Amino acid sequence: MTDGPTRALLLEQIHPDAVEILRSSGFEVETLDRALDEDELVERVAGVGLLGIRSKTHVSQRVIDAAGQLVAIGAFCIGTNQIDLAAASAAGVAVFNAPFSNTRSVVELAIAEIISLTRRLSEKNALMHDGVWDKSASGAHEVRGRTLGIVGYGNIGTQLSVLAENLGMKVLFFDTADKLALGNARRCLSLKDLLADSDVVTLHVDGRPANENFFGEADFALMRPGSLFLNLSRGFVVDYAALRTHIESGHIAGAAVDVFPVEPKGRGDEFVSELRGLANVILTPHIGGSTEEAQQDIGRFVAGKFRDYVLDGSTGMSVNVPGISLPRPDGTLRLIHLHRNVPGVLARVNGLLADNGVNVEAQLLGTRGDVGYVVTDSASGTTQTIVDQIRAMPETIRLRVIF
C-alpha cells in the first residue's frame, strides 16, 4: 500500500501492455486515443496521480498546477521537451521517458527512406498507380558508395551509422558534443563541412529550445546539388518553406520528413504542410518510432517506471529527479522525501527520527541540481506526527509514505 494516488491517465494510444502493467499493480487506468490541448488537460488532471503522454500533448506549468495529486509524468517516447521539467521538479513530480526503446524503428525507417529516395521509388509508384509505365534508370542510384551525413550522433545517429556502413555507404557525422566515431565513420568539425561532402543529409537532433530553426535556407544552399534531405527528429528544427524552394529549384533532389512544426491532434484530422504535392518527397505522420515492437517496448518500460516509483520509490533513469534504487528490507515502512537541495536536510530528517526513537534500517540520498531525494526505511516507530513534521519542513517538496 502507498499513500500516493492510484489514478492513471494515458493519452495518445499508449500500448495496451502499459495499461495491463498498471492495472495489475493496483492502479485505476483511464485511456484516451488522442492528445489533449492545455485547457482539456487542465480539466482532466484533477485527482490523477500518473499522466502518460506521447509527443503531441504538452504538459505546462498550468497543467501541473491543476494536478494537485500528480506524482509522475511518463513520456512514452524519446523526447521530454513537451513537458515543463522545471515546473515538474518544483512540484515534486518525477518524469520518465523511454530513451532507447524505439531507436531501431527510427533507424530502419531512415534506411528505407534513403533507399526509396535514391531509387526515386515514390515517383515510380505514383506513375504505376496512374497507369504509366516508366521503365527508366534516369535519376536512380545505388546507395553503395554514396556519402551519408548524420547531424546528431546520439543513440539513433550512431545506430544509423553502423547500418549505413553495412550497406556500403560512407558516413560522416557532426555533433556539438565530442562523440566517438563508430566503424569507419568520420567526424566533421563543422556542419558546413558535412553538408559540402554529403549525398544524403539526415537530422537526428534533440528537442532543446536552442535547436529551433536549426536548419534553414543557408544550410540548404550549402548542400550538394542533387543531394537528399531527411528529418526524423523534431519538426521545429527545419525551415520547411526553404526546403520546398530548394526542391522546386532542383537543387535538392528529394526529401523525407516525419515530423512537423504543427501536427494534427488525432487520426483523420487534416494535415497541412508546404511540402505536400512535391515530387520525390516522402511525408509520414510522425511514425518513426511507431512499430508494434517499439510501442510495446515503450509501454512496458515507462509503465514499469511508474509502478516502481509509486510502489517502491525507485527513480532509476528519471529525467528530472535523482536516480535512486534501494532494496527494501521486509517489514519496513519507507519514507520518500523530495526536497530542495540545501545543506542540512538529511540531518534534520534523521534528527526527527532519532528524537522519536526510530531506528533507520536503510537510507540513500541523491541530488540533482536544485532537487534532493532521500529514501529512508524504518522497522517501527514512524508515526503520523513524525510524517507531519517532515512534511512541514520548509525544504520539503513532497513526502510519500509506502507501507
Active site amino acids:
234, 263, 286
For 227-293, the DSSP string reads: EEEEE-S-GGGB-HHHHHHHHHTTSEEEEEE---SS--SSTTSPP--TTTT-TTEEE-SS-TT-SHH
Helix (H) or strand (E) holding 155: helix 155-166
Whether the Cβ atoms of residue 262 and residue 140 lie closer than 8 Å to each other: no
CA 349 to chain centre: 35
Residue type for 155, please?
Answer: N
**Largest separation between any pair of C-alpha atoms in the chain:** 87
CA angle 107-112-117, nearest 5°? 125
CA angle 269-275-279, nearest 5°? 120
Scored b (16 or more CB within 10 A) or e, 56-77 reads bbbbeeebbebbeebbbbbbbb
Whether the Cβ atoms of residue 200 and residue 228 lie closer than 8 Å to each other: yes
**Which strands form 186-187's sheet, in the order they lie side by side?**
186-187, 170-174, 147-151, 200-203, 227-231, 252-257, 281-283
Whether the Cβ atoms of residue 93 and residue 73 lie closer than 8 Å to each other: yes
In 10 A of CB 344, how many CB atoms?
9
